[in-house]
Amino acid sequence: MNSCFISGASQVWAALGADSSLLERVSCGGPSGGLPARLPVMELARATVTVCSLAAAELASVRTGRPVPRVRVDDGAVATAFLSDRLVRVDGRAWSTFSPLSRFWRASDGWVRTHANYPHHRARLLAALGVPGNGDEEAVDAVDRAIAGLTALEVEEIVYAAGGLAVAARGPGDWAKSEQGVMVAGQPLLKTARIDEAPVRLPDGAALPCAGLRVLDLTRVLAGPVATRTLALLGADVLRIDAPQLPESQEAHNDTGMGKRSTTLDLRDAADHRLFGELLDAADVVVTGYRPGALERFGLSPEALAERRPGLVVAQLSAWGRYGPWRERRGFDSLVQVATGIAELEGSPDSPGTLPAQALDHGTGYLLAAGVLRALTEQHRTGGTRLVRLALAQTAHWLVHDLATPAPGKDEAFDAEHWLTETDSPMGRLRHALPPVSYDGGPVNWARPPGPWGTDAPVWGGA
């Protein structure tokens, strides 16, 4: 194993409070040229998948009483998985991951990136800029003109005040000096905590690490669904719950809905809130991916969840962190890249750039799954309701400042087709990436394809 791989994985494994000697059970190989970038993106991808795979192997050992299985990480499988949202096909049809209004724009003094994939975000962007909600071609021209007459920070402030999403491009130095950047730099990559004295889980000999576990998935594209997709691979009964008034992309769900079921509940409605409570009373894991404060008003803070359901694992994901002036802001991978200086580092003097994949999303997703798996392992040992917290901005800081850049070398040829497969689904013939998380004797694919988003009954599997 190369030193960059050991360094990245060992950093995360230590942050998870795990036994460092287990890293000796990991090996890696395969073509390493799948995620070319100036920043060490392949090292981030490899490290996050490694710790997730090792955490799965460790939990499998705890539940069966057998030795921890060996883990082999394949760089080709990892790179393909990090590109999964771009590679998914239904009956040969691709989809565009970004709408015409989700892009870079030149402001009067720099660059801005907007995110308008969802209709409500599109409407808020146009309203903030005083642009009519016409067709995409006319709207692009009008937004271009409106942003050109404003500074980048003016656009950011105006659009966020209207509930939309726009971030001014900053250099890494500017971000580091900002109040939010200073606070991100002072945080660990991830946080884990025990918040009560719930009893231990008893080993039961289950063949898969998450067999028999029920996971409430309250996340949206992309990091949270990657995490819960991984828990489904490892045997969990994952039920994704969305608000019926918030639109979702079926195309995105075709990628991240592998192994899950999907339903809608309106927590503002008394009957739906009561039904959600019944699901919660039988859950083992709750994963949330909404901005801080969005779910707490429904009684879903970690403390409230622990009081109602002692022994839960509560995993929380946010874009900017649960602290600082940006703590309640919405955010996506593309916007975090722009704010934290990644776009400048990957760009040119003429324009900002992007990472070769939504690596902050995918990497944080595997870190989140690893945190859940390690929390479950610790519950078997010492009990307790467990809390895991991550943020895309913290993953970005890790990528820019803490991961070692590999020495220049010749990358082996990469062809994603080797790590893609096809299966029949309710939507048609589905081509998708194979899971990169694996260990000796572990699952090699999901037990079920995704179905139409939001159409499953709000019950646990088998109920």
Span 164-174, pLDDT tens digits:
999 999 999 99
Q: Would you place residue 256 in the very low, low, confident or very high pLDDT band (cuts 50, 70, 90)?
A: very high
Across the range 80-99, mean pLDDT stands at 93
Determine the straight-line distance between the first and last CA of the chain, rounded to whole angstroms.
46
Q: Can you say whether the dihedral through the CA atoms of 377, 378, 384, 390 is positive or negative?
A: negative
For residue 273, count other CB atoms closer than 10 A to its CB: 14
Q: Would you place residue 93 in the very low, low, confident or very high pLDDT band (cuts 50, 70, 90)?
A: very high
Across the range 270-279, mean pLDDT stands at 96
Across the range 228-241, mean pLDDT stands at 98
Across the range 319-324, mean pLDDT stands at 97
In DSSP terms, 27 is beta-bridged to 72
Peptide bond into 208 cis (omega under 30): no
**Buried b or exposed e, range 93-130, using 16+ CB within 10 angstroms:** eeeebebebbbbbebeebbbbbbbbbeebbebbbebbe
Across the range 172-179, mean pLDDT stands at 97
132: nearest Cα among 143, 117, 118: 143
Query: For 71-80, 86-95, 267-276, 410-419, which range has the lowest pLDDT when averaged over its residues?
Result: 410-419
Per-residue pLDDT for 440 more than 50? Answer: yes
Across the range 437-442, mean pLDDT stands at 97
Per-residue pLDDT for 6 more than 80? Answer: no
| Amino acid at residue number 308 | R
- Give the per-residue pLDDT at 31: 92
- Give the per-residue pLDDT at 407: 63
Question: Is the model more confident about 89 or about 294?
Answer: 89
Name the token pair of 377: 């392992």
- Give the per-residue pLDDT at 444: 97
d(CA 10, CA 50): 10
pTM score, whole prediction: 0.96
Per-residue pLDDT for 194 more than 90? Answer: yes
d(CA 339, CA 404): 22
pLDDT digits (tens, 9 = 90+) for 368-400: 999 999 999 999 999 999 999 999 999 999 999
Q: What does the DSSP assignment read for 204-241?
A: ---SSTTTT-EEEEE--TTHHHHHHHHHHHTT-EEEEE
- Give the per-residue pLDDT at 316: 97
Per-residue pLDDT for 4 more than 90? Answer: no
- DSSP-assigned letter for residue 455: -
**SS3 for 429?**
strand
Across the range 146-158, mean pLDDT stands at 98
Per-residue pLDDT for 2 more than 70? Answer: no
Per-residue pLDDT for 252 more than 70? Answer: yes
Which stretches within 234-332 are classed as H helix? 250-256, 270-280, 302-308
Active site residue 281: no
Per-residue pLDDT for 5 more than 90? Answer: no
- Give the per-residue pLDDT at 463: 56
d(CA 155, CA 177): 20
- Give the per-residue pLDDT at 420: 98
Which residues, other chains included, contact 427 with Cβ-Cβ below 8 Å and sequence gap of 6+? 90, 250, 254, 450, 451, 452
Task: Give, in order, the Cα–Cα distances in Å from 14 to each of 67, 217, 311, 327.
Answer: 21, 26, 23, 26
Do 428 and 27 form a contact (C-beta atoms < 8 A)? no
pLDDT digits (tens, 9 = 90+) for 12-52: 999 999 999 999 999 999 998 999 999 999 999 999 999 99
Across the range 224-244, mean pLDDT stands at 97
Kindly state the percentage of the chain with pLDDT values over 90: 89
Helix axes 75-82, 359-382, angle to 10 degrees: 110
How many CA atoms within 13 Å lie on the side-chain side of 166? 33
Kindly state the percentage of the chain with pLDDT values over 70: 97
**SS3 for 111?**
strand
d(CA 31, CA 413): 6
pLDDT digits (tens, 9 = 90+) for 103-136: 999 999 999 999 999 999 999 999 999 998 778 8
d(CA 364, CA 293): 20
Indicate which residue of 196, 272, 361, 402 is catalytic.
361
Radius of gyration of the chain from its Cα atoms, rounded to whole angstroms = 21
Per-residue pLDDT for 417 more than 70? Answer: yes
Per-residue pLDDT for 334 more than 80? Answer: yes
Helix count and strand count (H, E) for the chain: 17, 15
Per-residue pLDDT for 1 more than 70? Answer: no
Mean pLDDT of the chain: 94
d(CA 287, CA 60): 21
